[in-house]
Amino acid sequence: MTKESASGWSSAWAHALDDVELGVQEAERLLSRLHADTLDPEAALSAAQGAWAPPVGLGPLPESLEERARIVLARQLAVAEQLAAAAVQSRRQLTFARQADVSAPPRPLFVDAAC
C-alpha cells in the first residue's frame, strides 16, 4: 500500500468513526434531556429518524485508530444500556397509567340534610 493510499484509508476510517461518534453524542444528549425532563417528544422523534448505514469498502480498521474505536464502542454500549433502561421504565409507567383508576369518583345519590 502506498503512503498516499494508506493516508486515504486511515482518513476514511477516521471519518467513519467521526460519524459514529456524532451519533453517540446525539443519543447521549437526548438521554440527558430525557432525564432532565426537557425533551420534546416530537423533537426526539425527528432527531432519531433515519437509519444508520455502515460504511462500505473501508477494509480493516487501521491499528492507529483501534483505541479510539474501542472508546466509541464503549460509549455506544453505554448509551444502548441507558436506552434499554429508559424503555423499560417507560413501559412500567405506561402499564401503571393504564391500570390507575382515573375515573371520577361516584356522585352521591342523596344528601343528608340532618348535618
Tens digits of residue pLDDT in 90-100? 889 888 888 88
Q: Which of 26-35, 75-84, 105-114 has the lowest mean pLDDT?
A: 105-114
Instruction: Examine residue 53 and state whether it is found in any structural domain, yes or no.
Output: no
pTM: 0.68
pLDDT band at 46 (very low <50, low <70, confident <90, very high): low
In a domain, 87, yes or no: yes
Number of domains the chain contains = 1
* Mean pLDDT for the stretch of residues 109-113: 77
Write out the residue range of the structural domain in which residue 82 sits.
3-47+62-94
Q: Are 31 and 86 contacting, i.e. CB atoms less than 8 angstroms apart?
A: yes
Distances (CA, A) of 46 to 43, 49, 55, 87, 91: 5, 5, 23, 18, 21
- 99 in any annotated domain: no
Instruction: For the chain, give the percent of residues with pLDDT over 90.
Output: 30
101, part of any domain: no
Task: Identify the pLDDT of residue 101.
Answer: 73
